[in-house]
Amino acid sequence: MAEEGRMQMLKKVQEADFTAYDLLLYLDTHPDCQTALTKYKEAVECGRKARMEYEAAYGPITASAASAAAPWQWIKNPWPWNM
């Protein structure tokens, strides 16, 4: 059951990141579209919040988000193939 919650939180991060990236590509060809720019900013913020929630509950998603303090935190979480 706990693993289900973890996966749901990770999916929120992935969805927000995908949406932001898709809008970024759209803005490359439609730089004057204010609606797309607004939605892009919303998606980035949604992803930031979702990432913070996930990392507070389960640890860093990326090595760059891991604490620089010893011991190295990045290796403490299960790897995707361990789930």
Token readout for 58 is: 């389960």
The structure's pTM equals 0.75
User: What is the full DSSP assignment across 26-58?
Assistant: HHHH-TT-HHHHHHHHHHHHHHHHHHHHHHHHH
**Cα gap 83→81, rounded to integer Å:** 6
**Distances in whole angstroms, Cα of residue 75 to Cα of each of 10, 36, 45, 79, 82:** 18, 38, 27, 8, 12
Q: What are the tens digits of pLDDT across the range 15-63?
A: 999 999 999 999 999 999 999 999 999 999 999 999 999 988 888 887 7
